[in-house]
Amino acid sequence: MKITNVLKTIFFSSAILLASCNSTQKVAKVEAMVQKDMKGDQKMMKEDAIVMVGGAAMYPTKNIIENAVNSKDHTTLVAAVKAADLVETLQGDGPFTVFAPTNAAFEKLPAGTVETLLKPENKKKLQSILTYHVVYGKMSATDIVSAIKKGNGKATFKTVSGGTLTAMLSGKNVVIMDENGGTSTVTIADVNQSNGVIHVVDTVVLPKA
């Protein structure tokens, strides 16, 4: 019995000493676990921020062109950007706010319009139309709605082409009006990019001729 008690005393003493010696290691392990959890939360937040457009994931870590080329709903826009030699511009630092027309939006234009615009001799006109859909700076849907409310129902933005777009609300939808009175509705908002943000629109807006 005495030997057993002595062994028990040695065991518990050793356990206490081991726990004391390993306290620093335990703290380090706990800190590592916390950091791992934080990284996991940050990864989830990034994944939550990913928006699907045209059947493809739009990654906030990629630029406007890198994302747009993967959207099956924006093949016409991408072809137009390439024909207008604007790829390098939209891959730049920006930031830019792009109102991106879908293929269906381009199909609303009179028959033959897109084909005509894609011709080399019409590059300047195509550039003018495409940059009319771009505004300098990154404006989220919240920023646009806030500007509309401050403007008593309307907000005017200057485009990269030098023209202006007027934003307003139609119910809960943001609508942009061009200089000719034509309107386009934002169908997917806040598609974040590394160099700005895209708002998908259902109609091509046109500057004054």
Gap between the Cα atoms of 144 and 169, Å rounded: 10
What pLDDT score does 52 carry? 87
Look at residue 43 in the predicted model and tell me its pLDDT.
43
| The predicted structure's pLDDT at residue 24 | 52
Per-residue pLDDT in tens (0 to 9) along the chain, 209 residues: 444 444 444 444 444 444 444 555 544 554 554 454 444 444 433 444 788 898 889 999 999 999 999 999 999 999 999 999 999 999 998 899 999 999 999 999 999 999 999 999 999 999 999 999 999 999 999 999 999 999 999 999 999 999 999 999 999 999 999 999 999 999 999 999 999 999 999 999 999 87
Which CATH fold topology does 54-201 show? FAS1 domain (2.30.180)
User: Which letter does DSSP use for residue 132 in this model?
Assistant: T
The whole-number pLDDT of residue 25 equals 54
Structure token pair of residue 8: 């028990």
Closest CA to 185 of 114, 105, 76, 127: 105
Closest residue by Cα to residue 198 from 103, 46, 65, 55: 65
Q: Which two tokens stand for residue 131?
A: 């940059």
| Distances 112 to 86, 100, 109, 129 between C-alpha atoms, Å | 22, 20, 8, 16
Domain ranges of the chain: 2-48, 54-201
CB within 8 Å of 150: residues ≥ 6 apart: none
**How far is it, in rounded angstroms, from Cα 110 to Cα 206?**
13
Question: What pLDDT, on a 0 to 100 scale, did the predictor assign at position 9?
Answer: 46
**Stated pTM of the model:** 0.76
